Chains A and B, each alone.
Chain A
C-alpha cells in the first residue's frame, strides 16, 4: 500500500509566509504566484479566492488579470520552498518512511515495513501527521497513482484509504497453525500473493473508475492526454479502463498504454530517494551585489563548502546555487549538476559563474548547498614528482597541522571581493586558505 501526502498550495503558502504580511489574511484574498523571471508569462499556484474568479495555475497572466483585476501577484520563493520541503521530508524520514517526493507539496511512500512499527495504517498516518506538524491530506491506495487521487479527494482530518488490507487479529495458535500450513505449501503463498496483487489492482480500479481523466495531468508525460480523451467523449478513468488496449495503443501509442495501466490500478514501483546530507554555506551581502562582487562572493562560498569537514574528501556531483533578492524580490534557485564530480574550486567556479548571470535582480544573500556528493577525490602520484606539487602538498600539510593546533581560523587568506568599491569594508574579506 502506498501513502500519498498532499499539501495543497505549498509553494504559494511558503511565498506568502516570506512576504512579511499576515499569511492567513493574504491567502484569503485572490492571490497567485507571479511568473518566474525570464520564464513564460503564466501564473503559478493560486489561492481559493482566486480560483473562485476562474483563475487557475498555468493561466496566462493577462487572462488571469482580466478575470480578476484585484489579483495580487506574489513573487515566488523557490529557495524557501526547497528548504521548507526538505525539512518536511526529513521529518517524514524520521518515522522510517522511505519517501519519493514528486514535487514540492506531494510525496509518496510505501507502508510496508511500517505497519507493525506504528500499529497499522491508521498508526502510520497518525505518526506522519505528528511528524509533519502541518495540515496535510492523506491518501492510501495499492498504487501510487490511486494514492495521489485519493489524497486529492481527502480532507485534512479525513484520510481516504482505498482497500484497507489490515489483517484481522488472530490468536497465537491460529497463527502458528497458519504458519505451518504456509511453510508446508509454498505454492499456496505465491498464489495468495498474486491474488492480493490482483485484488489490490481491482480495488484501485474500482476507486478510480468514477474519477475524471483530468487526473492524468499529474504525470508530466501524460499532461496533453486528458484533452484528447475528453474530445473523444472519454471523461472518466473507468471509461478509459474499459477500452481495448490495442485500440488505445493504436491511437495514443506508449502514452496511451501508460494511462491505461494507471486507470486499471497499476503503476510503477516507488523509487525512494537516498538519505541526504545537508552541507550548505551562505553569505550575506549587506549591500546589494551583482557582477564582479557576486563572483567573488561565489568563490568564497565554494572555498567554504570545500573546507567543510563533512565533505570527508569527497567530490561534489551537483550543487544548488540560490539567492535572496533585494527589495523583497523573492528568491532565486538554480540546480547545477557538474559534468563530472569535482573538488577543484577553479573548475567549480567556471561552471557556476555563468549561472549567476541568470539571476533576475541583485542579491542580498547568496547560498551554495551540496545536493549530491561524488566519490572521494583520488590523489594519484605522478611518475616524476613535480616540485610545484610537492611544495603545494607540503603547504597543505602545514596548514592542516596549523589548524589542528590553533583552530580552524588559523590559516586564512584575504579575498578581494570588490576592489573598486568606494566603501573600504566592501573591498576584501577573510576566507579559509585552500592550499
Chain B
C-alpha cells in the first residue's frame, strides 16, 4: 500500500437547494422527503474549520441519500 486509504470519503454532487437550504434536486433527481437534518462543526479553533449541514433525503425514485452542504466553501457533497 502506498498510503492509508480512508473509507466514506465525501464525493462531489450536484444539488439544487431552496432558499432555506433544503435540497430540492440531487443529481437531477427530485427530492421527495427530507428524513433528517443535522449540523456538525469542528476544528473551529484552527484556520481550517469544518462546518457542515447534513441532509438525509429520499428521492422520488426511492434512493436514500446523505448529502451535506459545506458552509465554508458553499459546495455540496455526497457521503455514506
Contact call A428/B1, Cβ cutoff below 8 A: no
Distance of B40 from chain A, by nearest CB (Å): 5
Provide the bound-state CA to CA distance between A288 and B79, in Å: 21
Picked from A326, A423, A429, the residue with its CB within 8 Å of the CB of B46 is: A326
- Chain A residues near B1: list those with CB within 8 A: 304, 307, 408-409, 412, 430-432
Q: Does B7 contact A (CB under 8 A)?
A: yes
Contact call B79/A425, Cβ cutoff below 8 A: yes
Total number of A residues with any Cβ neighbor in B under 8 Å: 24
Q: Does A312 contact B (CB under 8 A)?
A: no
- Would A430 and B4 be within 8 Å (CB), given that A424-B79, A425-B10 are in contact? yes
Contact call B40/A428, Cβ cutoff below 8 A: no
Contact call B43/A425, Cβ cutoff below 8 A: no
Interface residues of A in 391-435 (CB under 8 A from B): 408-409, 412, 414, 422-432
Mark B1-45 against chain A: 1 for CB-CB distance below 8 A, else 0.
100111111100000000000000000000000000000101100
Provide the bound-state CA to CA distance between A408 and B5, in Å: 14
- Please give me the residue from chain A that is nearest to B45 by CB atom: A327
Distance of A133 from chain B, by nearest CB (Å): 29
Mark A117-152 against chain B: 1 for CB-CB distance below 8 A, else 0.
000000000000000000000000000000000000
Contact call B9/A425, Cβ cutoff below 8 A: yes
Mark A33-50 against chain B: 1 for CB-CB distance below 8 A, else 0.
000000000000000000
Distance of B34 from chain A, by nearest CB (Å): 19
Distance of A316 from chain B, by nearest CB (Å): 19
Contact call A423/B4, Cβ cutoff below 8 A: no
Provide the bound-state CA to CA distance between A424 and B6, in Å: 10
Provide the bound-state CA to CA distance between A288 and B40, in Å: 16
Provide the bound-state CA to CA distance between A300 and B3, in Å: 11
Provide the bound-state CA to CA distance between A414 and B4, in Å: 11
Distance of A431 from chain B, by nearest CB (Å): 7
Q: Does A283 contact B (CB under 8 A)?
A: yes
- Chain A residues near B10: list those with CB within 8 A: 425
- Please give me the residue from chain B that is nearest to A283 by CB atom: B4
Provide the bound-state CA to CA distance between A53 and B58, in Å: 70
Distance of B44 from chain A, by nearest CB (Å): 12
Distance of B43 from chain A, by nearest CB (Å): 6
Picked from A304, A409, A423, A431, the residue with its CB within 8 Å of the CB of B40 is: A423
Q: Does A63 contact B (CB under 8 A)?
A: no
Contact call A425/B6, Cβ cutoff below 8 A: yes
- Please give me the residue from chain A that is nearest to B40 by CB atom: A422
- Would A288 and B8 be within 8 Å (CB), given that A408-B1, A424-B79, A424-B80 are in contact? no
- Chain B residues near A426: list those with CB within 8 A: 6
B positions within 8 Å CB-CB of A: 1, 4-10, 40, 42-43, 46, 50, 52, 79-80
27 A–B pairs (Cβ distance < 8 Å), ordered by A: A284-B4, A287-B43, A287-B50, A304-B1, A307-B1, A408-B1, A409-B1, A412-B1, A412-B5, A414-B7, A422-B40, A423-B42, A424-B8, A425-B7, A425-B10, A425-B79, A426-B6, A427-B8, A428-B6, A428-B7, A428-B8, A429-B4, A429-B6, A430-B4, A430-B6, A431-B1, A432-B1
